[in-house]
Amino acid sequence: MRSQFASGAPAPRHPFRQTLAPARNTERLRNEDGDLKLFVLSFTAFFICIYSFIF
């Protein structure tokens, strides 16, 4: 089955999706780095707490 569009991406068929702007790639924000650091810190703290309770 061949695509009918040059970009290869299918066109939105639902009327609501046709009214939306096409999705665009966004660059990673600097705030997301803080989210990752918070996750790693929380995971490490949880691991240390559980490890200290077991041993």
Mean pLDDT by 10 residues, the chain (55 residues): 57 82 71 85 96 89
> Using CA atoms, how far apart are residues 43 and 21, in angstroms rounded to an integer?
38
* Count of all residues that appear for the chain in the document: 55
Decide if 12 contacts 20 (C-beta within 8 A). Answer: yes
The pLDDT of residue 37 is: 92
Report the candidate in 54, 52, 31, 5 with the shortest Cα–Cα distance to residue 13: 5
Rounded Cα gap, residues 37 and 21, in angstroms: 33
Report d(CA 37, CA 28) in Å as an integer.
Answer: 15
